[in-house]
Amino acid sequence: MTNGPVFLLLLAIAGLLLSPAVEFVIARSLPRLGGLPSLAARITTAAVTALLFALLGWRFGFTPELPAFLLLALLGVQLSRIDFTLHLLPNPLVLFLLGGGFVLLAASAALDPAWPELLRALAGGLILFVGYLILGLISPRSLGMGDVKLAAPVGLYLGYLGWKQVLYGGLLGFVVGGVLTVLLLRLNRKEKTVETAHGPAMVVAALGVTLLLQ
């Protein structure tokens, strides 16, 4: 597995360059989001994306599945930024993550070959989507339909890695969401109610499980 310092540095640079490029495309194609984010937000998302690219390179090395998980990091950071600031998970981005992830994982399955993993990925996406849909219908104030839709690509990626990743990733999303809620409540003590975005917690959980659980 090739994951030397030069390779990781190149991936980090790729993350730094791709992040603002994707933000520009999002701003042009989805003007309802309000255009480009602030300079501080762009610097932060670029730095986080670069770090995730390097970590994923260390995790997977130069392997067929790496491009798929780089896409998860790239779009996951952008979706988290948008959801955190606007409480919105745009359908085009979620669908692109789902479709692009499936295409890249299918290519990885063809090269490895790893067809059982791809079938498990499809099952994982469906299971997590249905689970979130049920929870969203039971408690619509806790989960939005955007979160339900995001569960499909998250489950797809986690399912490709394994069933325990689907289980832990699904559960960890709610743990991270609870921690974020507590932190926001402490930071906004004057507010009686604080609306928290669940999308960032889902992305953090998926990437955390990907990097740490093997």
pLDDT band with cut points at 50, 70 and 90 for residue 195: low
Residue 192: pLDDT above 60?
no
pLDDT tens column, 175-190? 998 888 888 777 776 5
**How does pLDDT run across 30-43, given as a tens digit for each residue?**
999 989 999 999 99
What confidence score (pLDDT) does residue 95 get?
A: 97
Average pLDDT (73-99) is 96
Q: Return the pLDDT at 165.
A: 97
The count of residues in the chain is: 214
Instruction: Determine the average pLDDT of the residues in 64-68.
Output: 97
Return the pLDDT at 184.
77
pLDDT, average across residues 157-174: 96
- Over the stretch 89-130, which tens digit does the pLDDT of each residue have? 999 999 999 999 999 999 999 999 999 999 999 999 999 999
pLDDT at 179: 87
Q: Tell whether the model's pLDDT for residue 193 goes beyond 70.
A: no
What pLDDT, on the 0 to 100 scale, is given for residue 194?
Answer: 55
Phi-psi region of 193 (alpha: psi -120 to 50; beta: other; left: phi over 0): beta
